[in-house]
Amino acid sequence: MSTPSRIKLGVNIDHVATVRQARGTVYPSPLEAAGRCARAGGDIITAHLREDRRHIQDADVYALKEQAVLPLNLEMANTREIVLLALDLLPEEACIVPEKREELTTEGGLDVVSHSGELGRTVRLLTEAGIEVSLFVEPDIKQIDAAAELGAPCIELHTGSYCLAEGESAEHELSRLINGACHAQSLGLRVNAGHGIHAENIEGVLQVPFLDTLNIGHSIVARSIMVGIENAVSEILEKIRTYARGGDCEQ
């Protein structure tokens, strides 16, 4: 029998940097935000260093790593420049995500099946450097199988489709997430989840079993405008405090 254990919260601070970059100032500081998230009880700091540097900058991730406020999860595209930076930075975790210059935010999961060769090389390089690698994927059995075959110890399930859906569509997307998490757990993968999660839809996401970490960013930063980032983090932590990782999976 599984025992209740609090799911970890990774706070994505990208949009603290978005506000800063909008005016080209030195504030607000992602590093200060990370410290406040730690004081509120957050477990991990997540930052996406995009190729176009639209928000988080190189100096931000190096400061976050050097100060070691919390373990750093670097979201990253599978490009030579970013992979080399990750190998120099050595974050505790790295989540490989798809990235398109024209998108407002990450729009879906990696196609691990079609890009297993190049992804496999990056997984090996990062793993050999001591970085725990996760692959950001849809709750699709073929993609999860492909991730496991590459030797990645972890996946992050894309929750965006569920978070945007309503009615029967939402039920369908939640079922996909549950089945995906169960399948990943059966393969020995650690299961994280993220994208589009906020206080109003998080209870549905918490029906997904075997989750280790939820990565939440935009909604926390948006809420922090009203209540401060420490309170925004605390509100999410209160929602997830009773989560139990175990669950019943259909055979």
Structural domains of the chain sorted by starting position, each given as residue range(s) with its CATH number in brackets: 8-240 (3.20.20.70)
Euclidean distance between CA atoms 16 and 55, whole angstroms: 8
Which residues fall within 8 angstroms of residue 78, CB to CB, at 6 or more apart?
Answer: 96, 115, 118, 119, 122
* Residue 160 parent element (H or E): helix 160-164
Nearest CA-CA partner of 170 in 210, 205, 219: 205
Are the C-beta atoms of residues 96 and 131 closer than 8 Å to each other?
no
Yes or no: say if 160 and 195 are a contact pair by the CB < 8 Å rule: yes
Strand ranges (E), 97-146:
132-137
Angle of helix 218-227 relative to helix 14-23, nearest 10 degrees, comes to 70
β-pairing, 190-194 vs 44-48, is: unpaired
For 35, other C-beta atoms within 10 Å of its C-beta total 18
| pLDDT tens for the chain, residues 1 to 251 | 344 468 999 999 999 999 999 999 999 999 999 999 999 999 999 999 999 999 999 999 999 999 999 999 999 999 999 999 999 999 999 999 997 655 444 558 999 999 999 999 999 999 999 999 999 999 999 999 999 999 999 999 999 999 999 999 999 999 999 999 999 999 999 999 999 999 999 999 999 999 999 999 999 999 999 999 999 999 999 999 988 766 667 64
pTM to 2 decimal places:
0.93
Residues designated catalytic: 48, 75, 195
Q: Evaluate whether 228 touches 38 at the Cβ level (below 8 Å).
A: no
